[in-house]
Amino acid sequence: MSNAAKIRVGLNGYGVIGKRVAAAVTLQEDMTLAGVSDVTTDWRARTIVRNGYRLFSATDEAAASMRKAGLAVAGSLDDLLANADVIVDCTPKRIAARNVDHYRRRGLKFILQGGEKHETTGHSFVAESNYASALGRQATRVVSCNTTSVVRTLTALKRAGLLRRARGTLLRRATDPWESHEHGIMNTLVPEPAIPSHQAPDARTVDPDLDVVTMAVAVPETLAHLHCWSVQMTRAASKDEVLDAFRQSTRIALIRIADGLVALNSVKELMADRGRPHDNMYEVALWSDMLHVQGDEVFYSYMVDNQAIVIPETIDAIRALTGTVEDASESMARTNASLGLETTLI
Ligand SMILES: NC(=O)c1ccc[n+]([C@@H]2O[C@H](COP(=O)([O-])OP(=O)(O)OC[C@H]3O[C@@H](n4cnc5c(N)ncnc54)[C@H](O)[C@@H]3O)[C@@H](O)[C@H]2O)c1
């Protein structure tokens, strides 16, 4: 594909999610990374330049301090926006919402992440559930890591005609590894104060038909989230039938305790051994041998790599907004192939 025909993607905010989105964009044959804007001047900004990306300053103050720090600045955020067909905003929670008016005034397509509210874009995105309704829109929000996993798994059961209602408990990692010197809890567990926790209502911003309730607990580790679910099905079904429903998703990988994948750390180690960048696991890793069916109820548990799961969704959201690929399965197949997603991890 010629460069002129590629989707020009601008990235604002090169943190945990932004750096992974940037790397994923560069792997897409139909996309080019127009540049990356941020406000930092330390090793993070230097990594942007070192990776060969054009660095833009998100604010006037950042422009001055980046130049003072000797960084090669290609221009301002506005300069980046002028050279992009779509902007992916991966700035911290609530900062992205402040950029929305600016993007709208420029008539630019934009994607926000799960830290922002549904109302900021009026559309919330999970590729396997509602790619079609994002086609040609100006904006969407890729929902949070936990919500993405909830919608992926419940959509698989729903498509198989098995889903009546779902109740889940989420054990949430305390903070991200790179900032664990600053935040995070130790030697305690902190339940979220309200039931349902925000992930269940958030899942319904993608699919309003889901009957889902979640509770959440923050736990003192940084590897990933662990979910435990109890689902009432529409009828009694066999374990194989339920597993087959999950197998229909290209973004759920079945793993087994019998293979030694007994905990979050062993699955994470597997991702490192597989040579995934940043040990990324883009799939929901669901324990097939642990899954238990009792009449019309199914119980299961899975792991969510919070830092990686939303990356394929963000790539698909770019194609959906720009309308370059109308078929969800085609976009997902391209994304999956470029990032190396698998439904069997070993
Ligand atoms: N970290 C996760 O596990 C995770 C998972 C799913 C979704 N999300 C969502 O993704 C979004 C980004 O989160 P994150 O964890 O990557 O944040 P982060 O703090 O790791 O990174 C944010 C980046 O934005 C930069 N930044 C700060 N202010 C800026 C500004 N005004 N303009 C431009 N850049 C600015 C920071 O320097 C940093 O590089 C949030 O909406 C968050 O809720 C995070």
94: left (phi over 0), alpha (psi -120 to 50) or beta: left
Residue 4 has pLDDT above 90, yes or no: no
- The label of the residue with tokens 């736990």 reads 219
Q: Respond yes or no: is residue 228 known to be catalytic.
A: no
- Alpha-carbon span 152 to 252, nearest angstrom: 8
Query: What is the side-by-side order of every strand in the sheet holding 7-12?
Result: 73-76, 55-57, 31-38, 7-12, 86-89, 109-112, 139-142, 124-125
Give kind and range of the element (H or E) at residue 259: none
* pLDDT digits 0-9 by tens, 95-147: 999 999 999 999 999 999 999 999 999 999 999 999 999 999 999 999 999 99
Nearest to 97 by CA among 110, 80, 78, 85: 110
Catalytic: which of 45, 73, 126, 145?
145
DSSP single-letter state for residue 12: E
pLDDT-derived band at 152, boundaries 50, 70, 90? very high
Contact 140, 111 (CB under 8 A): yes
Q: Which residues of 70-107 are buried (b: 16+ CB within 10 A; e: fewer)?
A: ebebbbbbebbbeebbbbbbbbeeebbbebbeebeeee
DSSP codes joined into one string, 52-118: TPPEEESSHHHHHHHHHTT--EEEEHHHHHHT-SEEEE--STTHHHHHHHHHHHTT-EEEE-TTS-G
Q: Name the closest-CA residue to atom 43, ligand 1.
A: 115
Pocket perturbation via mutation, ligand 1, pick of 113, 140, 150, 307 by most ligand atoms within 8 A of CB? 113
| Average pLDDT, integer, range 223-243 | 98
Which amino acid, one-letter code, is at 97? A
Nearest to 203 by CA among 156, 167, 251, 149: 149
Q: Name the closest-CA residue to atom 2, ligand 1.
A: 307
More confident residue, 2 or 96: 96
Task: Measure 74 CA to ligand 1 centroid, in angstroms.
Answer: 21
Task: Measure 91 CA to ligand 1 centroid, in angstroms.
Answer: 4
| Average pLDDT, integer, range 303-314 | 98
Residue 302 has pLDDT above 90, yes or no: yes
- Alpha-carbon span 233 to 242, nearest angstrom: 10
Q: What is the atom index within ligand 1 of the atom nearest the CA of 179?
A: 20
Q: What is the pLDDT of residue 113?
A: 98
pLDDT-derived band at 1, boundaries 50, 70, 90? confident
Contact 83, 8 (CB under 8 A): yes
* pLDDT digits 0-9 by tens, 12-46: 999 999 999 999 999 999 999 999 999 999 999 99
> pTM of the predicted model, to two decimals?
0.98
* pLDDT digits 0-9 by tens, 205-217: 999 999 999 999 9
